Amino acid sequence: MATKKKRASGGGPSSMKRFQSAESQRRYARQAREAGKKIGFVPTMGAFHKGHLSLIRKARRQNDMVVVSIFVNPLQFGPDEDFDRYPRDLARDLDLAREAGIDAAFIPEPSELYPPAFSSKVTVGPLSERMCGAKRPGHFDGVCTVVLKLLGIVQPHRVYLGEKDAQQLVVLQRMVADLNVDVKVVSCPTVREKDGLAMSSRNAYLSPEHREQAGRLYEALRMAQREILMGQMRDPAKLESRMRGLITEESEIEIEYIEMVDPETLEPRPVLVGRVLIALAASLGETRLIDNITVNVPGGRMAEGFGSAAK
């Protein structure tokens, strides 16, 4: 493994391709497919951390070719959001990607994906309007639109998405199913810092003090998981209140939402049985963070009368 890495990142000529035009990336995909190669695709906004690299490595294991896109998508940022200051470090990203052994990087300019006449939009209904969508109107439309475009360009057999963005994952799975896109969505577990904070490119915004407080978010999710699994907690309102206490006590964290929902429909669970996605969003100063955990409550089958707990 170490040897491989060294070879890939060594001074010799790398075989990693870089494409800026959709047409050249697509020609590459067509050739790979004609040669019978399976293509794995990791769409990113760059500013790589270990989470991205875990997606790339999984794609590497499961496919013949791995394509990564690096594109900070203006369409998914609101007017008051951090599009301009979103971290960008293309040289470092490309080094890391090369080291991880990808075959091609697609790095389009915004004008390549959104030329002046561009006027189409992909929307996934109610799933997009809850949770993060309530605070970020249009965000998931932007995500769906760019991901559909990227899938049309990169033409992968499998696309790799992180579980940290739980709602994004559900929305994109819905889009892929609804629009009959011929790709398998592979979800990958969240990678965390030592204190449990979910890896995110936005963590770089945090002051040292805020960074320390940010660990509370995962702490609260783990507490909630324990309460449900060990303590027989079934009341979402009560559990949310305990989580709020843990997160906000002597911290500057402002909670945007804590939701306990069905992991597929994102509908609130009135009783904590079956599979429950506990998701939250919070701000620390200017920095917005999200995280989540999924709990499988034993006994859900009996309590609900169907097999959701057995999945």
Catalytic residue ranges: 52
Pick one of 68, 70, 144, 258: the residue that binds its own copies (CB under 8 A). Answer: 144
Chosen residue from 62, 64, 98, 181 binding its own copies by CB under 8 A: 181
203 binds its own copies (CB under 8 A): no
Residue 95, CA distances (Å) to 4, 15, 54, 197, 264 in order: 14, 13, 15, 25, 36
Around Cβ 177, how many Cβ atoms within 10 Å? 11
What is the per-residue binding string for its own copies in 104-143, x denoting contact by CB under 8 A?
A: -------------xxxxxxxxxxx----------------
The SS3 of residue 113 is: helix
How does DSSP assign 203-224, residue by residue?
Answer: GGG--HHHHHHHHHHHHHHHHH
Q: How far apart are CA 150 and CA 278, in angstroms?
A: 29
Rounded to a whole number of angstroms, the minimum distance from the CB of residue 148 to its own copies is: 6
Rounded Cα gap, residues 29 and 35, in angstroms: 10
Q: Say how far apart CA 297 and CA 311 lie, in whole Å.
A: 11
List the x/- string, 224-263, binding to its own copies by CB under 8 A: ----------------------------------------
Q: What amino acid is encoded at 226 in this protein?
A: R
Q: Is 178 in the site for its own copies (CB under 8 A)?
A: yes
Report the candidate in 203, 292, 280 with the shortest Cα–Cα distance to residue 248: 280
What is the closest distance, in whole angstroms, from the C-beta atom of residue 255 to its own copies in the complex? 28
**For the window 263-302, what string marks contact with its own copies as x by the rule CB under 8 A?**
--x-------------------------------------
Residues near its own copies (CB under 8 A): 22, 26, 30, 33-34, 36, 117-127, 144-145, 148-150, 152-153, 155, 174-175, 177-182, 265
